[in-house]
């Protein structure tokens, strides 16, 4: 294949018979689907029949890179995954950072497709044409980080996607991490790997080349982007404090608790505690960056108590949780003690491989609430007294990851747990869409394009997909900032009238264009985190794409390609049984969220009007109409 | 492999404690050689050390000509370039 930016091949591994096959990429497929999530969607359509059992050998683990991976474009770090989810039967579009995409391409592969089931635990190593299935019995049983450490000792230089205990136990709310940094595979990628007896995928440094069509133009474009990166006024602080530096000023009023019915406010002195937490964090943190990332948001933290922990980005909110009694994030003690304990919780959950944000956090609160309300007792919990202490939280993590007792009930997610418990528990599931929790309750913020995204995406609630810019993450920005955001997402001038009035906008219609922008990042292999994506527009991506591939493509051409991908992906999920009915907002959004001081109700973006169910459903209708408009 | 390289009054010194492991230097180095990206041909090597709390090591190969481009593109100041003035 003569298109720049691609390694040129797809690697197929069948774990049942050990078959390994390399296939050249088809130029027409590459032009139409671009790469990453695009070609992953095409492969999933071709290879995973709609009725496939997610934990059967017929399911495929599809990993993909895009044409930007392997180059030095800032933030070109992402590996995209697709598979059928054991949590909700959808086809998640999940991506993570680290160095895997670059190392896979260094061996000559753009995509990797793993099917079948090995008779015994194995891990895969990939180094040029040497692709091996190796016995993994000595790493089976290790947590994800220990397994990564051990495999790195054996195969360095390399990049590693291991699974933790929850993957081995086929826990449906499992995730995993690339290089102990980038979270990937919400909705149970790790469980799918576990069902295949696959402990890890190791991409070693190969000897292959990635060529680009217009090297000088690419250099010029990258230099322009780096000029913007280097002059970004928040960057020096970000390098020191990581994601926490970017979220120092962002704090919700408290933590949603008791099954989405109450808001537990932070203590009144939280604004005094935040600087203490930030200073602790900065002093303890060593920065880790994904490939080509100039922002380094991954954290290795040397705690004051001597332990070293990792997280994929510690936000201020996570540290401030140490002062909330909502869900036992921390025991009592000094600020340093609380910070250390909270981070040890994040470390444990990452090591064992549970999805905290969109599953475990809400699930733990749900089961504790049922216990507090007398709907379950020690006969169900296996003798465990469930309270909101740190110790209970840690126990719940461990038993869920290991499928022990009550943990076996929790391991398949909140809908499955509620069905199992019965006694009316199913009717009590709230703030859940397609089997996963809405992590950012819109009653606390106002309804954002992000929340529309959280309704419509099967699989992990990828609200960020519909956001992709500060004005769509937080409420009340002036309308001209939203227009600027839409322009950045590539909305043509003639379409603006559908999205905006003089003083307002339609979040459903805007969300569709945020998705197109986001989708293109996932097709190209580019990181979409706010502090990277801020340096890009649809036009910048089109210029880079042309320089890398040699294909003349305008911003409009790439936007159309992304629209095609989204529509095909939505079709894939429709084949798994998803309909518009599954997009409907949870009933709890239209009930008050109560805190001691006030009630929070669902308001519009400008926090002027309370929204009814009919209002949100009309946003959804507008979203569908915009998507059909192309 | 060495952590400092000097050629023709140009030198690059690595400070691994500042390295975040982004491998931009490796990609830029290989791209400078023949306008292609190839990690294995890079004359600077960043490696993540397992079992040592993920510290990064940075080293230069014998054929590194200290062109300084890796230092110019390092986002984290982990590579210090020195160029002696040859005039006057």
Q: Which domains does chain B have, with CATH numbers?
A: 4-83 (3.30.70.20)
| CATH of the domain spanning A9-204, picked from 1.10.8.350, 3.60.9.10, 3.30.70.870, 3.30.565.10 | 3.60.9.10
Cα distance between residue A194 and residue A117, in whole Å: 9
* pLDDT tens per residue across span A540-574: 999 999 999 999 999 999 999 999 999 999 999 99
Residues of A in contact with B31 (CB under 8 A): 71-72, 215, 219
Q: What share of chain B in percent tops pLDDT 90?
A: 76
The CATH fold assigned to A356-433 is 1.10.569
Do the Cβ atoms of A156 and B50 come within 8 Å? yes
Q: Which CATH number is A440-578+588-629 given?
A: 1.10.599
Of A287-291, A590-594, B5-9, B16-20, the poorest mean pLDDT is in B5-9
Residues of A in contact with B27 (CB under 8 A): 70-72, 102, 291-292
- Give the per-residue pLDDT at A97: 95
- Give the per-residue pLDDT at B1: 59
Strand boundaries in A110-219, DSSP class E: 111-115, 122-127, 130-135, 158-162, 176-178, 182-184, 198-204, 210-211
Quote the mean pLDDT of chain B.
Answer: 91
A157 prior amide bond cis, ω within 30: yes
From the list A106, A215, A289, the residue facing B22 with the nearest CB is A289
Q: Is A111 helix (H, G, I), strand (E, B) or coil?
A: strand
Query: Which residues, given as ranges, of chain A have pLDDT below 50?
Result: none
* pLDDT tens per residue across span B39-74: 999 999 999 887 666 789 999 999 999 999 999 999
CA B62 to chain A, closest CA, distance in angstroms equals 18
Helix %, strand %, coil % for chain A, to 5? Answer: 45, 15, 40
Do the Cβ atoms of A289 and B37 come within 8 Å? no
From the list A72, A180, A294, the residue facing B27 with the nearest CB is A72
Cα distance between residue A455 and residue A438, in whole Å: 8
- Give the per-residue pLDDT at B85: 67
If pLDDT is split at 50, 70 and 90, which confidence band does B88 have?
Answer: very low
- Give the per-residue pLDDT at A572: 95
- Give the per-residue pLDDT at A268: 82
Q: How much is the pTM?
A: 0.96
Contact A509, A548 (CB under 8 A): no
- Give the per-residue pLDDT at A611: 98
From the list A205, A211, A290, the residue facing B36 with the nearest CB is A211
Cα distance between residue A149 and residue A349, in whole Å: 17
Q: Say if the ipTM goes beyond 0.90.
A: yes
CA B80 to chain A, closest CA, distance in angstroms equals 17
From the list A156, A210, A293, the residue facing B37 with the nearest CB is A210
Cα distance between residue A24 and residue A397, in whole Å: 43
- Give the per-residue pLDDT at A279: 92
Do the Cβ atoms of B22 and A296 come within 8 Å? yes
The domain limits of chain A are 9-204, 232-352, 356-433, 440-578+588-629
Tell me how far CA of residue A223 lies from CA of A346, B22, B43, in angstroms: 37, 17, 21
Pairing label, strands A198-204, A122-127? parallel
Q: At what angle do helices A390-402 and A335-352 cross, to 10 degrees?
A: 10
């Amino acid at each position: 294949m003569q298109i720049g930016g691609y390694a040129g091949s797809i690697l197929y591994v069948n774990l049942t018979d050990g078959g390994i096959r390399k296939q050249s990429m088809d130029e027409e497929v590459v032009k139409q689907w671009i790469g990453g999530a695009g070609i992953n969607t095409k492969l999933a359509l071709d290879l995973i029949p709609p009725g496939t059992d997610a934990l059967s050998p017929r399911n495929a683990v599809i990993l993909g890179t895009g044409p930007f991976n392997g180059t030095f474009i800032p933030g070109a770090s992402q590996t995209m995954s697709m598979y059928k989810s054991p949590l909700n039967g959808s086809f998640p579009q999940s991506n993570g950072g680290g160095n895997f995409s670059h190392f896979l391409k260094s061996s000559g592969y753009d995509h990797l497709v793993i099917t079948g089931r090995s008779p015994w635990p194995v891990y895969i190593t990939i180094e040029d044409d040497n692709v091996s299935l190796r016995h993994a019995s000595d790493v089976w049983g290790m947590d994800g980080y220990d397994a990564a450490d051990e495999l790195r000792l054996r195969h360095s230089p390399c990049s590693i996607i291991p699974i933790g205990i929850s993957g081995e136990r086929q826990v449906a709310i499992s995730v995993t991490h690339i290089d102990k940094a980038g979270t990937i595979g919400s909705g149970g990628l790790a469980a799918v790997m576990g069902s295949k007896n696959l402990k890890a995928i190791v991409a070693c440094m190969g000897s292959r080349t990635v060529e680009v069509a217009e090297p000088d133009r690419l250099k010029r474009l990258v230099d322009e982007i780096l000029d913007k990166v280097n002059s970004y006024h928040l960057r020096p602080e970000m390098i020191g404090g990581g994601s926490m530096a970017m979220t120092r000023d962002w704090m919700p009023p408290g933590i949603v608790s008791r099954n989405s019915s109450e808001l537990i406010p932070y203590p009144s002195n939280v604004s005094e505690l935040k600087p203490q937490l930030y200073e602790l964090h900065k002093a303890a943190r060593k920065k880790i960056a994904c490939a080509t990332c100039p922002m380094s948001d991954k954290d290795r933290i040397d705690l004051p108590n001597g332990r070293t922990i990792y997280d994929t980005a510690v936000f201020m909110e996570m540290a401030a949780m140490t002062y909330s009694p909502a869900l036992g994030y921390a025991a009592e003690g000094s600020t340093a003690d609380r910070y250390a304990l909270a981070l040890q919780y994040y470390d444990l959950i990452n090591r064992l491989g549970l999805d905290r944000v969109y599953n475990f956090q809400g699930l733990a609160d749900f089961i504790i609430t049922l216990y507090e309300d007398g709907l379950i007792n020690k006969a169900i919990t296996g003798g465990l007294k469930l309270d909101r202490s740190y110790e209970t939280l840690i126990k719940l993590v461990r038993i869920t990851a290991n499928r022990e007792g009550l943990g076996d009930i929790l391991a398949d997610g909140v809908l499955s747990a509620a069905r199992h418990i019965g006694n009316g528990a199913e009717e009590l599931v709230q703030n859940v869409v397609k089997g996963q929790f809405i992590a950012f309750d819109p009653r606390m913020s106002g309804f954002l394009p992000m929340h529309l995204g959280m309704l419509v995406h099967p699989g992990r609630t990828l609200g960020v997909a519909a956001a992709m810019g500060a004005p769509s993450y937080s409420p009340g920005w002036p309308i001209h900032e939203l227009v600027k955001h839409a322009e950045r997402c590539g909305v043509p001038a003639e379409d603006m009238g559908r999205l905006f009035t003089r003083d307002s906008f339609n979040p459903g219609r805007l969300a569709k264009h945020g998705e197109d922008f986001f989708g293109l990042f996932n097709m190209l292999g580019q990181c979409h985190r706010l502090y990277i994506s801020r340096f890009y527009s649809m036009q910048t991506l089109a210029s880079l794409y042309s320089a890398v591939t040699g294909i003349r493509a305008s911003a409009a051409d790439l936007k159309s390609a992304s629209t095609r991908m989204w529509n095909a992906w939505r079709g894939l999920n429709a084949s798994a049984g998803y309909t518009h009915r599954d997009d409907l907002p949870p009933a709890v959004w239209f009930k008050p969220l109560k805190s001691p001081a006030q009630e929070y109700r669902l308001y519009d973006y400008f926090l002027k009007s309370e929204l009814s169910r009919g209002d949100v459903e009309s946003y959804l209708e507008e979203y569908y109409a915009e998507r059909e408009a192309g | 492999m060495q952590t400092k390289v000097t050629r023709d009054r140009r030198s690059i010194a690595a400070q691994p404690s500042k390295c975040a492991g982004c491998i931009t230097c490796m990609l830029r180095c290989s791209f400078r050689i023949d306008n292609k990206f190839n990690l294995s041909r890079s004359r600077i090597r960043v490696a993540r050390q397992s079992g040592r709390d993920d510290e990064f090591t940075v080293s230069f190969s014998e054929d590194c000509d200290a062109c300084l481009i890796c230092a110019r593109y390092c986002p984290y100041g982990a590579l210090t370039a020195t160029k002696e003035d040859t005039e006057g």
